[in-house]
Structure 1
Amino acid sequence: MNIYLVRHGETEENKNRYYYGSLDVSLNENGITQAKKAGKALKHIIFDKLYVSERIRTKETAELALGNDIAAVKDSRINEMSFGVFEGKTYEEIKKLYPKDYKCWEEDWMDFAPNGGESYRDFYNRVESFMDELIKNPCENVLVVTHGGVIRSIYCYVLNGKLDLYWKFSSKNGDISLIKYEYGNIFIDSITHI
């Protein structure tokens, strides 16, 4: 089984370095270009299934990359992490507006949840649920268009749920990763920067 992961194209919020997991925003011009480039890189593959998050930026990326050749299945488990009151703010703004919460987040990034948001551990658990289900229903080629945090969490999943490895990976807008599941083994085959 080949699981292709594509991070959605760039948005203005990415460009301005906002935390915005739950905000529903569209791609910017650069993001549109990235999505089209990802499509060119994937054009030779026939996908059996396509999954997108509930956010418009993943749907736009999938449509620009593949056209409307395959119906997308929306799955909330591959939504980006919800940052609650931190949404729409930069790292510096969070530090200034919520100094106590910021300190707690810095000291316990896995288990701290901003007001109205979720902890990384809870976020990982829903991504894990998605992956567990995905590999139980194998097909030849699956495309998952999602978010940087989800992709990093999938890398942790591949590495036996080692959550502390989350910060050891990058996932840039438009990147394509190939995860293979063969003979009961799951592994990262490649990561391509677009």
Structure 2
Amino acid sequence: MTIESVNTDPNITRIYIVRHGQTDHNVKKILQGHIDTSMNTTGLIQAEKLGEFFKNLPIDYFLSSDLIRCKQTLNEILKNQDYDESSIRYTSNLREREMGPVQNMLLKDALEKYGPNFRNFGEKEEQLCSRVETEFNKLLDSDYKNVIFCTHGGVITRFCNYLHSDLGFELNNGLTPNDLRVPFNTSITVVDYGKSAKKGVIQSFGGTDHLGGKFEVKDQLLR
């Protein structure tokens, strides 16, 4: 089974974790956190391509951060899906990490004022993982075969590291822990969970083939 084909195994829950499209804050290197920013024109184009990727992959359930940049991204996926409103849910549990006093600051200003320690302000990583895990576990306990999980770069990075290092999810296809870094806008990460074996696998991380190439985030301090 490849990630380009829909999962048909009722014993497996496949979760497509996607990051929202680009915002002006991403471009300007402003720390977003819970700031409710919209996608820019580039982000919309990225999200349209993401929607095209999922056009032939029927999704059972759609879970998203309630911030507008994720809602806009999910909307482009929904344009190519057959769904009803009961299969969509938006939640603050999938928001980016709240960053305290550095939220909405330029990255360079945060570094100048606080140094690398700026990353320790605001919500603790264990708090982030706890709220995201609450939503993730609901999906694992469901009958859904294919799920969209639309969230933010910092969430994807930290939670996938948590899945691997703390919950024992395996890495597939040559992935290493060093690959679990902040992924590109509208990237696709695929996680499979076998219900009988109670075993999870991160099948792929941060894929951007739908954008026409391999793209990575250069500044890993940005959220």
Which amino acid in 2 is paired with 1:47? I
Is 1:190 equivalent to 2:195 in the alignment? Answer: no
* Separation in 1, partners of 2:155, 2:111: 24
For each residue in 1:43-80, what CA deviation from the matched residue of structure 2 results, as whole angstroms up to 9, or x when unmatched?
11111110110100000001122227433201211110
Gaps of 5+ in 2: 1-12, 168-176, 212-223
Which amino acid in 2 is paired with 1:187? V
Is 1:37 equivalent to 2:42 in the alignment? Answer: no
Q: How many residues align?
A: 181
Structure 1 residue 42 displacement after superposition:
0.9
2:149 corresponds, among 144, 147, 153, to: 144
Which amino acid in 2 is paired with 1:153? R
**Secondary structure at 2:138 match in 1:** helix
Which amino acid in 2 is paired with 1:7? R
Is 1:90 equivalent to 2:135 in the alignment? Answer: no
**Secondary structure at 1:180 match in 2:** strand
Q: Percent identity over the alignment?
A: 27
Q: Who is 1:12 aligned against?
A: 24
Of stretches 22-31 and 88-97 in structure 1, the one that deviates more from structure 2 is: 88-97
2:135 corresponds, among 130, 137, 148, to: 130
Q: Who is 2:170 aligned against?
A: none
Query: What's the TM-score, normalizing by structure 1?
Result: 0.84
Is 1:47 equivalent to 2:59 in the alignment? Answer: yes
* Separation in 1, partners of 2:190, 2:37: 26
**Secondary structure at 1:42 match in 2:** helix
CA distance 1:154–1:62, change in 2 (3 Å): same
Q: Which runs of 4+ in 1 moved over 6 A?
A: none
RMSD in angstroms over aligned alpha carbons?
A: 2.1
